[in-house]
């Protein structure tokens, strides 16, 4: 990825020349890839065999902090132990499979609500009520079942559920969240749309003027983006018009915070967006070809000097998040749900993505590449 200085000069060139970043070629994505059950199932199986961001590390601030939710349809619980390490387990009791945790919180122990078996934060089975009823039970071999791997990178907890088919997003991960960004809000939402439609809606600026004439366009440009790829990930930069005030600014130590929106697509299901006054992280959990659950987290922006945000920064971040929720996000959601509704019309066998939409091309290409790997992997096991 370009440094902020390089990014600024590249953007100013585009402004002066009326240009934007262009991909090599256009791309046709079969509509079937948004509708077919077998494709959806394959995407979910892939999700279990790649490192996938599960939550921000900031959601696990202290020993006992946990986040429980399904990922690729599998209920998981991620918890910070007394030793500070973050572990992830399948969220199922070893007695008769009841889920042990729900949502997020902080606990000393996971006690099953069904019959009371209790597990330590490191997963060990600690206590079984009336244990004499299980004469052959070896408590040491009946702890919570861990996932294949957990890794903390760039402020995100990545989980690989099963033996992976590749590095996925970790092939080359950009810098994302920093330690001085404060998590101030989290929420969950459900949309009756395919997850890829929503992702696509964030990955190009070709639509900004027609779709967001009063919310985003007055502050931005018509079809002016810098699009960068890093591994299978991508970053799309949407400059604000106020960036032109930096034309003659000294380049040393320059920061483009508040001068650009940066949309990071962390391959393939996660977005980390640095917006005007806050940072929005969204983890997609596809539930069907036409339904997606989102786990959303809002952070303050990083401060260039590495200091913590003050009350004013926090107020601005909250206001920015509310503005987006009331305007641009609704405009995008309307587009996506309209496309979803027209999908079965038969008008298109393929969707066409042009040279302005190269980050979408990149997402689809890499998804196809990894689905192929998954297919080879699964065949080799039969
Ligand atoms: S299912 Fe958990 S204690 Fe019985
Ligand atoms: Fe949009």
**Of 143, 163, 183, which residue sits at a domain end?**
163
Please check whether residue 178 lies inside any domain of the structure.
yes
Please check whether residue 251 lies inside any domain of the structure.
yes
Please check whether residue 335 lies inside any domain of the structure.
yes
Please check whether residue 381 lies inside any domain of the structure.
no
Query: Do 241 and 276 have their domain in common?
Result: yes
List Cβ neighbours of 69 (8 Å cut-off, separation of 6 or more).
54, 75, 76, 103, 285, 295
0.95 surpassed by complex ipTM: yes
Instruction: Check pocket membership of 110 for ligand 1, CB cut-off 6 A.
Output: no
Which of 5, 47, 106, 119 has its CA nearest to residue 293? Answer: 47
Question: How far is residue 20 from each of residues 12, 293, 358, measured CA to CA in Å?
Answer: 11, 33, 11
Please check whether residue 380 lies inside any domain of the structure.
no
- Other CB atoms within a 10 A radius of the CB of residue 308 amount to 12
Query: Looking at the 3D structure of the chain, how many domains does it have?
Result: 2
Query: Do 114 and 186 have their domain in common?
Result: no
Helix, strand, coil tally for the chain in percent (to 5): 30, 30, 40
Query: Do 157 and 183 have their domain in common?
Result: no
Query: Do 233 and 348 have their domain in common?
Result: yes
What is the DSSP secondary structure assignment for residue 251, as one 8-state letter? -
Query: Do 206 and 224 have their domain in common?
Result: yes
What is the DSSP secondary structure assignment for residue 148, as one 8-state letter? S
Per-residue pLDDT tens, the chain, 382 aa: give them. Answer: 999 999 999 999 999 999 999 999 999 999 999 999 999 999 999 999 999 999 999 999 999 999 999 999 999 999 999 999 999 999 999 999 999 999 999 999 999 999 999 999 999 999 999 999 999 999 999 999 999 999 999 999 999 999 999 999 999 999 999 999 999 999 999 999 999 999 999 999 999 999 999 999 999 999 999 999 999 999 999 999 999 999 999 999 899 999 999 999 999 999 999 999 999 999 999 999 999 999 999 999 998 788 999 999 999 999 999 999 999 999 999 999 999 999 999 999 999 999 999 999 999 999 999 999 999 999 999 8
Q: What does the alpha-carbon distance between residue 132 and residue 137 come to, in Å, rounded to a whole number?
A: 9
**Of 118, 133, 163, which residue sits at a domain end?**
163
CATH classification of the domain holding 137: 2.102.10.10
Query: Do 73 and 196 have their domain in common?
Result: no
Q: Which atom of ligand 1 is found nearest the CA of 97?
A: 1
143 in helix, strand or coil? coil
Instruction: Check pocket membership of 283 for ligand 1, CB cut-off 6 A.
Output: no
Please check whether residue 382 lies inside any domain of the structure.
no
Please check whether residue 151 lies inside any domain of the structure.
yes
The rounded Å distance from CA 286 to ligand 1 centre is 28
* Ramachandran angles phi, psi of 244, nearest 5°: -70, -15
- The tokens for 310 are 């003050």
The rounded Å distance from CA 125 to ligand 2 centre is 48
The rounded Å distance from CA 201 to ligand 2 centre is 6
CATH classification of the domain holding 243: 3.90.380.10
Residue-number span of the structural domain to which 350 is assigned: 4-48+171-375
pLDDT at position 115 is 98
Query: Do 349 and 292 have their domain in common?
Result: yes
**Of 123, 141, 163, which residue sits at a domain end?**
163
Query: Do 36 and 60 have their domain in common?
Result: no
CB 333 within 8 A of CB 191: yes
Please check whether residue 225 lies inside any domain of the structure.
yes
Q: Which atom of ligand 1 is found nearest the CA of 117?
A: 3
Query: Do 183 and 119 have their domain in common?
Result: no
Helix orientation angle between 328-342 and 195-202, rounded to the nearest 10 degrees: 130
The rounded Å distance from CA 272 to ligand 2 centre is 15
Query: Do 175 and 158 have their domain in common?
Result: no
Q: What does the alpha-carbon distance between residue 342 and residue 37 come to, in Å, rounded to a whole number?
A: 18
Query: Do 290 and 159 have their domain in common?
Result: no
Query: Do 236 and 327 have their domain in common?
Result: yes
Instruction: Check pocket membership of 95 for ligand 1, CB cut-off 6 A.
Output: yes
């Amino acid at each position: 990825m370009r440094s902020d200085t390089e990014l600024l000069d590249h953007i100013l060139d585009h402004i002066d020349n009326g240009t934007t970043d262009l991909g090599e070629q256009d791309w046709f994505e079969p509509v079937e890839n948004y509708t077919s059950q077998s494709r959806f199932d394959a995407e979910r199986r892939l999700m279990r065999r790649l490192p996938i961001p599960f939550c921000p590390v900031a959601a696990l601030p202290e020993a006992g902090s946990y986040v429980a939710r399904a990922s690729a349809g599998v209920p998981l619980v991620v918890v910070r132990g007394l030793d500070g390490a973050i572990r992830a387990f399948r969220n199922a009791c070893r007695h008769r499979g009841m889920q042990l945790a729900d949502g997020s919180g902080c606990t000393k122990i996971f006690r099953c609500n069904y019959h009371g078996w209790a597990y330590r934060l490191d997963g060990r089975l600690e206590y079984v009520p009336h244990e004499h009823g299980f004469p052959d039970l070896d408590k040491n071999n009946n702890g919570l079942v861990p996932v294949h791997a957990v890794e903390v990178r760039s402020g995100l907890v990545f989980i690989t559920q099963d033996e992976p088919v590749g590095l996925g997003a970790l092939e080359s991960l950009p810098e994302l969240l920093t330690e001085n960004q404060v998590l101030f809000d989290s929420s969950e939402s459900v949309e009756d749309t395919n997850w890829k439609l929503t992702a696509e809606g964030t990955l190009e600026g070709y639509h900004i003027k027609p779709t967001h004439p009063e919310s985003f366009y007055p502050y931005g440009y018509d079809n002016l983006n810098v699009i960068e790829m890093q591994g299978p990930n991508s970053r799309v930069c949407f400059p604000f018009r106020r960036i032109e005030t930096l034309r003659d600014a000294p380049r040393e130590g320059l920061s483009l915070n508040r001068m650009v929106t940066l949309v990071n697509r962390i391959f393939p299901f996660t977005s980390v967006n640095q917006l005007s006054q806050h940072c929005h992280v969204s983890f997609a959990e596809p539930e069907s070809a036409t339904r997606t659950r989102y786990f959303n987290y809002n952070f303050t922006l990083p401060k260039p000097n590495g200091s913590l945000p003050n009350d004013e920064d926090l107020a601005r971040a909250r206001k920015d998040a509310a503005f987006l929720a009331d305007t641009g996000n609704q405009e995008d959601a309307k587009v996506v749900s309209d496309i979803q509704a027209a999908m079965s019309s038969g008008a298109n066998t393929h969707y066409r993505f042009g040279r302005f939409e190269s980050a979408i091309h990149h997402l689809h290409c890499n998804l196809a590449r990894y689905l192929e790997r998954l297919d080879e992997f699964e065949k080799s096991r039969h």
